[in-house]
Every structure is written in structure tokens, then in C-alpha cells.
Structure 1
Amino acid sequence: MIHRLFVALASFGIVAMTHAATPVLVIHGGAGVVKRDMTAAKEKAVRAAMTKALLEGYAQLKAGKPAIDAVTTAITVMEDDSNFNAGKGSVFTHDGKNELDAAVMDGDSLRAGSVAGVHRVKNPILLARAVMEHSSHVMLVGDGAEEFAKEQGITLVDPSYFRTEERWQQLQKALKEDAQKQPPADVETAKHFGTVGAVALDGEGHLAAGTSTGGMNDKRWGRVGDSPIIGAGTYANAQCAVSGTGWGEFYMRTVAAHEICMKVSMLNEPIQRAAAEVINQEIPSMGGNGGAIALDADGNIAMPYNTDGMFRGWIGADGVPHVAIYDDEPDPSNHPPAPATSAAE
């Protein structure tokens, strides 16, 4: 609240002072069908990857680096881990390809960058940041985005880098169901969940947000979801930062991330209420679902979701990484459990 007052007064030239803040980093690894029959090894690997992302991202904040550094560092860790639907381990399109999307936004300057439909960019989040910092554009797609990546020295890989057998078999199952004109046998096959994201507050009181995804299993026609759309799956301003994960079409139709932040910055709603109203009320009322992580300039965290679980984590003043997956694990949102339904990244 104090930071918001300083921002408002400064806009009228009344004060000129910097608000020192306690750094906070929040991440997600996707919301959706998170089954308790996940193998112990798989769960351990996911928790370890998220813990690593939190520690490496938070180290940037502790070193006095800006929020955008923490966001891109944390997301890069998850892009490099095949347990998530982002970077290595992304799901396949109907045509057997990987199409990756990502976006970042700096809340202090309102600068943003995003990429969509890239096939060879090892870490799409780094390319999205390069678009923000080294171009006059906000979004680049496909071959053009990869040409820009070459110019910027962003690491490119052979498309086979992204393949995992687990994701390939998910596509084969979906293709078989397509051919038989059968409804998907399970949500896991139809819509895989694992989009990754991060929001951060740095020591200067500035916020940033980022999101990266491999999209929807068996998607067609170059479909792009909400993750790289500024305001839909990713948004940050001086008072709020949001990264979403869920059925992208509904996040785009509600401009979900932007709406949460407008409730916080314009209506002065607490961030937990603002996020819950959009994620757990507005989106489900239209038939969609998913989750989000949100952070305000005072370090308050929201992690609403309306599925049966969301991979989520946070680290703050105590410097201790916290990771949760299931509904009965505590998190800063203190939200009630909600039933699971189908969703897509």
C-alpha cells in the first residue's frame, strides 16, 4: 500500500523517493489434472526442479538484480527440465512438431516482449526478453522470431532436442482417438498441463512477470494460447504481476492477467481477491479453467486455481523455498479446494 501511494504521488511530482522492498519470487509449473498416483520419482523430480528454480531466481534478487532477471532465471531452469510443458519436454502438435511460446513484462517500464510458434529456440523466455530489450516490437512469431534469435546470439537447437518419449506417446494416443472420432480417454492425453511461469518483486519495489509453454497436445493450425499474449497470460505493472496457466482461449477472452492487475491498481482490491474473482469465478463461469500466480508491490501473493492441483512455489524474506502441488498443501492464498475439470494450456 505504501508503495502504491508513493507511485501515485510521484506521478504528480509530489514525491521522488524509492521504496525499498523485501524481494519475493513466485513460480508455477502448470495447473490441471494433478493426480496423486504420480510416481514418487516423478513427484520428487518436479519438486526438485521447482526448488532449483526458486533458489536460482531468488539468488538474482538477493544480489540486487532486477525482478526481470529473477523471472527469466527461474523460467529458464524449468524450460530446461523435461518434466514441464515448456522448452525441453514440450508437447507435440497434431503434425508431430513442437511449437513454443513465451512472454515477459517489466512492470516498472511496461515494456514487454513475446514470441510464438518457435521450433528451435532452446529457451523461448530468453528470446522474449531479447524482443523486449533489443527490438522495437513486442511480439515476434515463427521463422522471423528465429531469425531475430540468430542475430541476438540466442541458443538454437535441433528440433529433436525438445522431444521426450512421454510427450510423443501422448500425441500417439490423441491421434488414435482422433482417427476413431472418440472423445479423449483422459484429460491428460487431450490437454497436457505444465506451462511454467514466474512473477517477482525486487529490492527496488519493481515487479516483473513471465510465462513459457509448449502449448496444447495435438493442437492444429498454428494455434497460439494465452501465454505469449500480453494481458492474457502474462502482465505486470507497478502494482501487480501475473502469470497464468490454463485453458488459454478463456484467458484471452477475459484478458485475465490484465484484469487482475486492473482490479489491484485501479480498484485497490487485495490481490488475493482480485485473482480469485477472475480465475475462480469469471473464467469458470464461461466454461474455462486453470490457475495463476500473482504478486503485488507489497509482496502479497495469490495462487488461485480451480483444478485439482497446481505446481506452485514461492520464496521470500526467510530465503526458504516452498513448493506445493496438491490442494491440501498450504500456500499463501489459503484458498478452498475446487473440483477439477478439463483445461488446455
Structure 2
Amino acid sequence: MTFALPKWTLVIHGGAGSMTRDNLRAEEDQAARAALSAALDAGAFILRDGGAALDAVQAAVRVLEDDPHFNAGRGSVFTAEGRIECDAAIMSGSDLNAGAVAGVRATRNPIALAREVMDRSTHVFLAGAGADSFGRAHDIEAAEPEWFETAERRRQLDEILADPDLPFDSAMKYGTVGAVAVDADGHVAAATSTGGLTGKKWGRVGDSPLIGAGTYADDRAAAVSCTGAGEYFIRLGVAHEICARVRLGGWNIEDAADTLIAELGDMGGKGGVIVVSPDGSGGWAFNTRAMYRAMATHETAPEIAIYGDE
């Protein structure tokens, strides 16, 4: 008797930015690749066993949230006031169900909280102290502020505060994390998590937790997770727009992703996207020097890359 392996695809990212082989130390390069590999393994383990894309993207993102080399969960950037405020979103393509949180300060894994909002509330988006309170009420693991903080993020804040005119790119050494997947049943899902911008003020929220801007999944089209200059992704509705061009215009995901990133660039925005479709195709597009990224499928070896020429 012959047993067929489940068909699946998983794509993850750890942010797009100005990293080069010259400004990224060898140990940072190695640590980032190791974290991407661990996240890929966590999601692939679920998909390989016939599990759901939704569970796989959550598992992958959680690994990256726990790794201090990325701007999500532990290792998130500081606000101008010296706090850490995290955003996250998750979406299921099979039923368009979604959950999102913004400005959370006491939840260890924001992506777990977003999933709980999706599964156990009548709402889609919770913010601030209310979101953290919802997490405590539903036994989502909490964490003290010190758990999120790293010396490197504090140094970056000090640099920004000392020179408010510093170019945006200088604070994009690490960034938002995300995952998209399609499982053996052809269902897609997307998840995104971030600490936002270094030195952000006034409760600023970017695209990551906004369904349709930085995160979107639809079995009729694709799953998308974005990273970069959030204000531009919001204005273009990038994640939903990619899906709309696939679903309504008949585009393939590669052309849709490339075109939206080109349009983003025309507006002055920088960043990238990861995309996967129900047929199993997946990949990325970005207009920055580099993007932390990785992909695995049921039939290919893991691919892990950082720089634009990889």
C-alpha cells in the first residue's frame, strides 16, 4: 500500500529592511537564520502531520515572537515613552474569520492573544489594556515588561531620541514577523506580529494588526502577511488588494505581489510581502535591500534567505 504525503506550503518572514552583509554582523546573520529555521520547523511539523494552516502560522510566529532578534514579542522596539506595545493579527481563509490586537503590553505572545480573540470572542480587534485584560480572563500567558526588553532595542531608542531626524531606514534593522500557509485541505491562513516603529508616539498602530492592510487570508485567492512602512500598506490595503487581484482579476500571486510592492514604492513606501495560494504556490516580494524570509513545502527542502541577492 502506498501512502501519499500531505501537500502543504509554509512561508515566513522576519521583517524587511536595510540589512547588508556589511552592516549585519556574522553572529546576527547566523542567529536570524537559526530562528527562521526553528519557526519553519514549528509550522512544518503541524502541516506535515496533516494539521491546519491556521495552527501552523500561529506556531511559526510564536517562535519568532520569543526570539529577541526580531521586532515582535520579546525584542520588540520601544515607544518614545520607553514602553513596549505589541500588535498582532491572524486570519483563516476558509471562513474569513480573524482576530487582532494592538498596543498590548502584558501578553507574552500577542499572536496567541489574537487567536483567542478570533476563537473566543464576538469581536475582531481589541486594543490596549482591554486586550491584555481579555488575555488574562482567558488564561493567555502574561509577561512583565522586563521580559520584552533588550539592550539593543534600548540603544536604538536612545539613538532615535538623540537625533529625531534620523532616516526611517536606520531603525529597520529587524522587523515585523509573519507566516502564511496552505494545508493539505487547501485552506490558507496568515499571521503577523510586531512591536511597531522605534520611538512611535501617540498610540500609533501600523498595518500589521489591520485585517486587509498587513494581514489577510481567503481560500478563494491567497494568504498574505506584510512588513515595512505600515502607513503605506494601510493606504494601499496591500494584503487585501493582492487577494482581490487574484480572486477578481485572475492574476497569479507572483504578479499580484510584485505589482503591489511596485505601487508601494511609487508612493515612497518600503517593505515586503509573503504570499501563498490554495494551489500550493508561495513566495515573496520586497523593495528593500533585504528581507528575512524562509519557505518550505511538502516536496522541497527549506529555503532560508536574508539579502536581496539570495
- Report deviation, 1:302: 2.8
Over 3 Å counting, the alpha-carbon distance change for 1:185 and 1:209 in structure 2 is closer
1:61: which partner in 2? 47
Pairing partner for 1:132 from 94, 112, 118: 118
Equivalent residues in 2 for 1:1-345, closer than 5 Å: 22-37=7-22, 38-178=24-164, 183-184=165-166, 187-189=169-171, 191-238=172-219, 239-279=221-261, 281-318=262-299, 320-329=301-310
Rounded to whole Å, the distance in 2 between the matches of 1:208 and 1:325 is 23
Residues 206 and 76 of structure 1: CA distance in aligned 2, closer, same or farther (over 3 Å): same
Contact kept, 8 Å, 2:156 with 2:198, in 1: the verdict is yes
Q: Could you say what secondary structure the match of 1:116 adopts?
A: strand
* Kept after mapping to 2: 8 A contact 1:312/1:324: yes
TM-score (norm 1): 0.86
**2:136, 2:288 → 1: CA distance?**
39
Overall identity of the aligned pairs, in %: 48
Q: Which has the larger radius of gyration?
A: 1
Q: Is the 8 A contact 1:104 1:114 kept in 2?
A: yes
Counterpart of 1:247 in structure 2: which amino acid?
A
- The one-letter amino acid of 1:155's match is E
Alpha-carbon shift at residue 57 of structure 1 (Å): 0.6
Output the amino acid matched with 2:207: D
Partner Cα separation in structure 1 for residue 302 and residue 258 of structure 2: 24
Q: Which runs of 4+ in 1 moved over 6 A?
A: none
Q: Distance in 1 between matches of 2:92 and 2:6?
A: 16
Give distance in 2, aligned partners of 1:141 and 1:51: 31
Report the aligned-residue RMSD.
1.3
C-alpha separation in 2, matches of 1:269 and 1:319: 24
Distance in 1 (CA, whole Å) between partners of 2:167 and 2:151 is: 19
Structure 1: unaligned runs, 5 residues or longer: 1-19, 330-345
Q: CA deviation at 1:192?
A: 4.9
Match of 1:334 in 2: none
In structure 2, stretches of 5+ residues that fail to align are none
Note if contact 2:6-2:47 (Cα within 8 Å) is conserved in structure 1.
no
TM-score between the two structures when normalised by the length of structure 2 = 0.96
- Kindly tell me the number of residue pairs found equivalent between the two proteins: 304
Q: Which moved more, 1:266-275 or 1:36-45?
A: 36-45
d(CA) in 2 for partners of 1:263 and 1:21? 28
Contact 1:21-1:205 within 8 A present in 2 as well: no
Aligned to 1:340: none
Amino acid at match of 1:244: C
Taking the aligned partners of 1:266 and 1:247, their CA distance within structure 2 comes to 27
Counterpart of 2:296 in structure 1: which amino acid? I
Any conservation in 1 of the 2:14–2:293 contact (CA below 8 Å)?
yes
Q: Per-residue deviation at 1:21?
A: 6.5
